[in-house]
Amino acid sequence: MENILFGIGITAVAGALATIAGAAEDTESDIGSQGDPNSQVQLAPQMGFIHRIYNKAISGEPPAYGLWCAIGAGVAWAFMAVQVNAILAIILGSLVATLVQGAYATTAYLGRTASLANFEQPVYIDLIRSVTTVTMAHAFVAIFTTVAMCYLMNTALGHPFPLPLLALVWGIALGAAGSATGNPFYGKERQYQEQPFGAGVSISASGTIVRYGEAGQRSSLDNGWFTSKMGGPASGICFGLIVFFELWRTVIFEHMAGGWGAVIVGVVLIFIFMALDRYIEVWARKTFGPYAKPEEAEATA
């Protein structure tokens, strides 16, 4: 019984860390324009829309976060192997991973922007100074919380995977959660605020991203303010729930039905969430009305 109580406590802490990680990850990727909305940032100058938005094309978020978290955990593991205190080791590992992330971010912006010289897109080096440090700060929070969560799973819950492998797997999951949950807020809503809500983005509007703000020109830092209200918390809840339910079902049901208990509960959870998702989708369609038909939209345009 005490083991289970201890396990539930660790599960709650890990879920909380994961929630912070998810929120920080999505804010980081939106400030830097990583992931799928990046294609519009890349396309805009080719359509004649020169902008001051960061272009952090490193790879998809899941492999990138797999790498950052793996570096953080790998360096932390090595420092712990030479008898450095665990918390200090995780901080130092996350710091190294953050510096690598920052170096990758600057080379991605410079490389992509320099290759767009034909379309008269200049390199704004003040963006490198102001935006890179902000993405690095958010990346540090995301990497530190993920590696700390993996350390808890490894030492407190006795997960059989070594720390670097565990962080690689959870880093990929973190990037996937942020990419799938948070990016739609940024890509479909923030970049296209002049388009009617719910209309979708037509192909003719590709690349016409919002470049000017209410007062002055928009930089990627404004995305941080928007994302920390919308996409960030949504991604945080998503990743936090994934981690919480993953550990909860293992801690409580691992010894039932000859080891199959956790698997059965996992399948049941998936069905419950499918039903919930369907309910929310139908509710949203009914509440916010059906999408306008294309003919009607053309008639009113």
Partner 1 sequence: MTVKMEASAGGIPHDTVMAYGLIGSLVGIYLTYLNVLSGTEIFSFFGGLAAIAALVWGANTIKHLCSYGLGTGVPSAGMIALGSGAIAMIFASRYGMLAPIVAVIVAGILGAIVGFVSNKIVNMNIPVMERSLTELSIVGAMSLMGFTAMLGGTFIFDEMVAGTSTFLGFVFADYGMSIIGGSTLAVTFMLAAIALQHPFNACLGPGEQQDRTLMLGAECGFLSMIPIALMSFAFISFASAVIALLVSVAGWCWTYVQFIELSKRDAYAWLDAKPIHEPKGGE
Q: How far is the CB of 53 from partner 1 (least distance, A)?
A: 10
Residues contacting 195, CB < 8 A, separation 6+: 201, 205
Annotate 191-257 with DSSP letters as a single string: TTTTSPTTS---GGGTT----B-SSSB--THHHHHHHHHTHHHHHHHHHHHHHHHHHHHHHHHTTGG
- Site for partner 1 (CB under 8 A): which residue of 126, 214, 295, 298? 126
Determine which residue in the list 1, 2, 3, 82 makes contact with partner 1, applying CB under 8 A.
82
133 or 229: CB nearest partner 1: 133
Buried (b) or exposed (e) across 94-130, using 16+ Cβ within 10 A? bbbbbebbbebbbebbeebbeebeeeebeebeebbee
Among 16, 60, 180, 222, binds partner 1 (CB under 8 A): 60
Tell me the sheet residues that pair with 212: 217
Phi, psi dihedral angles at 81 (to 5 degrees): -65, -30
Of 157 and 292, nearer to partner 1 (C-beta) is: 157
Answer yes or no whether residue 182 interacts with partner 1 by CB under 8 A: no
- State in Å, rounded, how far the first CA of the chain is from the last one: 66
Binding of residue 121 to partner 1 (CB under 8 A): yes
CB under 8 A: which stretch of 27-35, 155-163, 228-236, 252-260 binds partner 1? 155-163
Least separation, in Å, of the C-beta of 109 and partner 1? 8
The two three-digit tokens of residue 121, written as one number: 């897109």
- Residue 118 binds to partner 1 (criterion: CB under 8 A): yes
Nearest-approach distance from CB 89 to partner 1, in angstroms: 11
Q: What are phi and psi of 5, to 5 degrees?
A: -60, -45
d(CA 54, CA 292): 34
Specify whether the CB–CB gap between 65 and 142 falls below 8 A.
yes
Q: Which of 18, 31, 71, 177 binds partner 1 (CB under 8 A)?
A: 71
Residue from 73, 177, 241, 247 binding partner 1 (CB under 8 A): 73
Min separation Cβ 35 and partner 1, Å: 11
Residues in 97-116 that interact with partner 1 by CB under 8 A: 97, 100, 103-104, 107-108, 110-116
* Binding piece for partner 1, criterion CB under 8 A, among 45-53, 136-144, 231-239, 293-301: 45-53
Site for partner 1 in 197-256 (CB under 8 A): 211-212, 217
The dihedrals phi and psi of 78, each to the nearest 5 degrees, come to -65, -40
Which positions touch partner 1 (CB under 8 A)?
42, 48-52, 57-60, 63-64, 66-67, 70-71, 73-75, 77-79, 81-82, 96-97, 100, 103-104, 107-108, 110-126, 161-165, 168, 211-212, 217
